Structure 1
């Protein structure tokens, strides 16, 4: 079984089922949380979600890259990027899940 994608609608549906808000309220709550995270990142704040991970904005310097199709060199301008570092709790959950998957498939 390959990886799946969790969407905003999936998150809202989970909130609806587990918290008991209406579907509309659940979707609104998910949007509010995501908007808050985005606003904090836009203002250069780190977003740390305990047990999940940390989003940070960092600067990347200018460098020379290559077009993978042609091999031609091209400058890559300096820019700001968002990085995510998973917490140890999340990393351990992934490791345990992987071990269970290997044990049942092998």
Structure 2
């Protein structure tokens, strides 16, 4: 008799877990700010060194951070995607409060 894989379904009667939208969307969200419409994606860490445009400090490999690009850039979102920048998460959040 073949072995059965355990069910991944929620056990009957167990509490419902709310949907984690950030995880469901792959970490992508849209934000509106005084300087336009942005697509923002959270990354768990990359394999390169990036320079944060806010603090001009390095984002080292493996450091969780965000990458953002303007959705309403001249030339459309594709042009914004070409100009995307990697930000420290705290710098991105602070940027949103300053504008």
TM-score, normalising length from structure 2? Answer: 0.27
TM-score, normalising length from structure 1? Answer: 0.26
